[in-house]
Chain A
Amino acid sequence: LERSTSSFRYNAYHTLEEIYTWMDNLVAEHSDLVSKIMIGQTFEKRPIFVLKFSTGNKSRPAIWIDSGIHAREWITQATGVWTAMKIVTDCGEEPVLTNILNHMDIFLEVVTNPDGFAYTHSTNRLWRKNRAVNSNSTCKGVDPNRNWDAGFGGVGSSNNPCSETYHGPFPHSEPEVASIANFIQKHKHFKALMSIHSYSQMLLYPYGYRKEPTLDNEELHNLACKAVEALSQVHGTDYIYGRAISTIYVANGITIDWAYEHDIKYSFSFELRDTGIYGFLLPASQIIPTAEETWPAILTIMKHAYKNPY
C-alpha cells in the first residue's frame, strides 16, 4: 500500500483499499483543509466516505462532487482522486479556487459505489451496478443512477433486476443513494452538484426525465458551454452539452434531476473520455490528461456557483 500521497501513483488505477488508504493519508497530511466523513454503509457493509475541503468552521454554502457511481467507469474514480489532490495543491496558490474555498466548502465522494467498485477488481471488471440482493431474483445489483426520487421508475430505467438499468424496489432503496440524499438534505446549503461518469464526452444538465426545460435552462446551457470551452482548451477534447433528455436519452431517477428538484440549481453530470476506442477500459496513461481537462470545467461551474448566490 502507498504510504503517502506524494508516493501515490496518480497515473495508475487503484483498488478500493488503496484509495481508502490514500484518503487517510490525504487527511493526515492536510488536516487543516481536508477531513473525511462517513456518510453511510453499503449493502456489503463497506463504509461510504466523503472528503470535505473547508477553510472555515461555520456552515457554509457547499459544492458536491461525486465520481464512480457506476463501478466500471474506472476513469471517474481515478479522476476523483486526482481532483482531490488538485484541490489540496491549489488551495492558497491558485486565486479562483482559493477564493471559492474562502467562502464555500467542497465535498468530494471519490468512490460512490464501493461494493460495485470492489467487485470490478475482484470478480467482474465490467460490473456497473451496486451489489444489492434483489428479492425474487437471482440477479444482483441496482443501478444507483436510476434509484433517485426524480421520475423514479419511468422510461429509461428498468424494473427487471437482471437489467443494467434496474431502478430498485423504491426510490432511495439503495444505501449509496440514500446516504447522499440524507447528507445533502441535512446540510441544506448545497449550491452546486457535479456527478462524474464516463464515457461519451458530454456535459449534461437537467432534466433527464422531463421534456420541458428547467426554469434555469438558459443559464445552465450558457454555463455548460463555458465549462466545455475551458475543458477543450487543455487537450482539445470535444464535448457536447445540453439537457440530458435531448442530448443523450430519457433517463428516470438520475442524480442531477433529484438535485435540481431539491434546489441545487447548478446540477451537472459529466461523461468523461473516451469516444469509442476503449470504452470503460481507458488506458491508465489517459488518467492524468482526463483529470487535467476536467478540472477547469469543474472550476468554471464552482466559480459560477460562488459568483451567483441564490
Chain B
Amino acid sequence: QKMFSGDQVLRIRAKDQKQLQLLRNLEDSEDLKVDFWHAPARPSLPVDMRVPFSNLNAVKNYLNSSGISYTIMIKDIQVLLDEEKKGMSSSRR
C-alpha cells in the first residue's frame, strides 16, 4: 500500500493570473509529482496541492521565490490516513 508519510497539502491563494500560471507550471513538472486537490482556477479560489515529502523543499522554494504565499492545510497525510484506517477497522469490529 502506498504510504504518504510526511506528504503535505499546501493551500495557496494566488494573487493574480500570473501566479496561477506559475502554479499550473508545477503540474507540468513531472519531477515534482504534485497532485492538485484544487486545481489553479481563479484568484478568488484557493489552490490545494499535495506535495510528496521528498519534494517539499523544492516546491516551497519555488513558491517562495515566486512570491506565492501558502499555508499548510495538512501537515502529514499519513497521520490522517492512519486515523482513517483505525476508524474503519474499529467500525468493522
**Which A residues fall within an 8 A CB radius of B?**
9, 11-14, 122-126, 162-165, 199-200, 248-249, 276-281, 283-284
Contacts and interface: CB of A to CB of B under 8 A. Distances in A.
Contacts of B30: 162
Contact of B87 (A123, A278, A284): A284
Nearest to B91: A12
Given A9-B91, A279-B37, A249 B42 contact: yes
Interface of B: 1-2, 4, 9, 11, 27, 30, 35-39, 41-42, 45-46, 48, 50, 73-74, 77, 80-81, 83-84, 87-88, 91
B73 A279 contact: yes
Contacts of B50: 126
15 contacts: A12-B87, A13-B84, A13-B88, A124-B2, A164-B35, A199-B37, A200-B38, A276-B11, A276-B46, A276-B73, A279-B48, A280-B37, A281-B77, A283-B83, A284-B88
Contact of A278 (B1, B39, B80): B80
B36 A164 contact: yes
Nearest to A271: B38
A249 B4 contact: no
Contacts of B77: 126, 281
A249 B36 CA distance: 14
B91 A278 contact: no
Contacts of A200: 38, 45
Contacts of A278: 74, 80
A124 B3 CA distance: 8
A224 to B, nearest CB: 17
Contacts of A13: 84, 87-88, 91
A184 to B, nearest CB: 28
B88 A281 contact: no
Contact of A125 (B39, B46, B81): B81
A248 B1 CA distance: 33
Given A162-B30, A249-B39, 5 more contacts: A13-B84, A123-B1, A125-B84, A249-B41, A284-B91
B42 to A, nearest CB: 7
A248 B41 contact: yes
B73 A277 contact: yes
B84 A279 contact: no
A276 B41 CA distance: 16
Contacts of B73: 276-277, 279
